[in-house]
Amino acid sequence: MINYEKVKPLFFKLDPEDAHHLVANTLQIGELIPQLFNPFIKRNFVDDERLHQEIFGCKFLNPVGLAAGFDKDAEMIRSMTALGFGYTEVGTVTPKPQPGNPKPRLWRHVKEESLQNAMGFNNKGSFYMQKKLKKRYPYVTPIGVNIGKNKVTPENEALKDYEHGIKAFRELCDYLVINISSPNTPGLRNLQNETFIDALFDMAKSLTNKPILLKIAPDMSKEQAVALCSKAVEAGADGIIATNTSIDYSLVKEPKDVGGISGRVIRDKSFEIFDAIADELYGKTVLISVGGIDSGYEAYRRIRAGANLVQVLTGLIFKGPEIAGNINRTLLKLLEKDGFKNITEAIGADRK
C-alpha cells in the first residue's frame, strides 16, 4: 500500500482540481475492474457488528460516509467501498448539466488542512447520473443523492428544479438531500427560509416516501439554525445534515473572496451549530454531522452529541485514503473504552 504522507507533497504540487480529476480517473479504472478493489476493501472497510445501524430501512455497516461534492456524477460508488466508507452521498446534481463557475475555483489552505471551493454545482446533469445509478442501485452500502437547482433557474422557480430531482432519483437511491446551503450558486442560501421549506416538503412528500433530508449552512445563528431545522422536520423532513461549507473567510489566513471553506478550520463552527440543532431535535429525527471531521475522536464527539451518522470530504484530501478505516477503528476503541456494546448506545450519550 502507498504511504500517503510521502506522496502528498507531490500530489499537492498539482492544481487542486487537476489532482481531483487524476484521483477520479484512477478510481474509475477500479470501477471497471472491481477485483482490483479487493485488497483495499480488506484493508479499509470496517465491518463490525458494533458499528451496524438500521436507518431509513437500510443497513449501515459503519457510520462514516462520503459527503456530497466528491463524487458529483455517481461515477465512484464502488471506489468508496474500497476506501472504507459505509455509505456514499453523490452530487450535488442539477436537472441540466452545467460547467460550474470559472476556474480557478478550488484552493488548498495546506497549513490549516482546509479547502476553499467556488465550484458552483459543476455536474453532468440528472440524465447522466440516472444512467450511472441504474447500474449500481441497489448497492451493498446505502446511496444518497444530493440535489440542487441550476444556476440559471430563478429563485421563484427553484421548486421546479427540486421537484425534477426528486422525480429523477426517488427510485435510484436510499435517501435524498435537499441542498439549499451551497454558497456557490447565486441566491441559493436565500431559500433557507421557512416559507420555502414549507412549500418544498409539501411538494416532496406528495411525490415520494423516500427519506428526504435538509442540508444547512453553518453561517447563521444557532437560533436561526434550530428554527429552520425544526420547521423542516415539522414540514416532513426525515433528517438534517449539518453543515455545508462556510463563508466566514476569517477562518483562514489567506482566503479568496469567493466560495465556501471546508476542513479543519470549520470544525468548531460546524460542531456548535450541530450541537444546538441536536439539543432541540435529538431523538426526533435522523441527524448527520459533517464539517471538519478528520479523526475518530472528532467523529465520536459528534456521535455522543447526537449524530446518527457522520460524513467526511476534505479530510480525505488531507489525511488520505485510509481515513474512513482509521476513523471506524478508533470508534471501536472508544466504544469499548466507554462500555458501549453498540454505536446506538453512544449516539446522544452527552444529551442523556
CA distances (Å), origin 103, targets 15, 100, 121, 327, 341? 11, 9, 13, 33, 49
Reported as type and span, the H/E element at residue 109 is: strand 106-109
- More confident of the two residues 185 and 250: 250
Q: How large is the average pLDDT for residues 131-139?
A: 97
| Model confidence, pTM | 0.96
| Domain residue ranges of the chain, discontinuous segments joined by + | 4-351
Helix 194-207 and helix 222-235, axial crossing angle in degrees, nearest 10: 30
Which of 318, 264, 269, 321 lies closest to 293, judged by CA? 264
177-204 burial: b if 16+ Cβ within 10 Å, else e: bbbbbbbbbeebbebbeeebbeebbeeb
300-314 burial: b if 16+ Cβ within 10 Å, else e: bbbbbbbbbbbbbbb
Which DSSP state fits 67? P
What pLDDT is attached to residue 1? 60
Long-range contacts of 189-192 (CB under 8 A, 24+ apart): 189/217, 189/219, 190/155, 191/155, 191/158, 192/216, 192/217, 192/220, 192/228
Place of cell 447522466: 128
- Contacts for 142 with CB less than 8 Å, ≥ 6 apart: 56, 58, 59, 60, 86, 87, 88, 174, 175
What is the number of residues in the chain?
352
Question: pLDDT > 90: what percent of the chain?
Answer: 89
Mean pLDDT of all residues belonging to the chain: 95
> Of the given ranges (2-16, 43-57, 198-212, 275-289), which has the lowest mean pLDDT?
2-16
Opening angle at CA 336, ends 334 and 342, nearest 5: 95
Taking only the tens place, the pLDDT of each residue in 170-221 is 999 999 999 988 887 877 888 888 889 999 999 999 999 999 999 999 999 9
- DSSP class of residue 75? -
Mean pLDDT, range 117-124, rounded to an integer: 96
Query: What percentage of the chain has pLDDT greater than the value 70?
Result: 100
Q: Looking at this protein, which amino acid is placed at residue 257?
A: D
What is the per-residue pLDDT across 290-307, written as a single tens digit (0 to 9) for each?
A: 999 999 999 999 999 999
Asked whether the predicted pLDDT for residue 319 surpasses 90, the reply is yes
Q: In this predicted structure, what is the pLDDT of residue 135?
A: 95
Q: Give catalytic residue positions.
A: 182
Average pLDDT of span 162-169: 98
From the candidate CATH numbers 3.40.50.10860, 2.30.110.10, 3.20.20.70, 3.40.50.1820, the one assigned to the domain spanning 4-351? 3.20.20.70
- Is residue 14 scored above 80 in pLDDT? yes
Which pLDDT score, from 0 to 100, does residue 192 have?
Answer: 87
Rounded Cα–Cα distance for residues 131 and 149 (Å): 20
Q: What is the bridge-based pairing of β-strands 260-263 and 114-117?
A: antiparallel
> Average pLDDT in the 150-162 region?
94
Residue 288 gets the label, from left (phi > 0), alpha (psi -120 to 50) or beta, of beta
Name the amino acid, one letter, at 152.
Answer: V
Terminal-to-terminal C-alpha distance of the chain: 42
pLDDT tens column, 58-71: 999 999 999 999 99
For residues 3-29, average pLDDT: 92
pLDDT at 184: 77
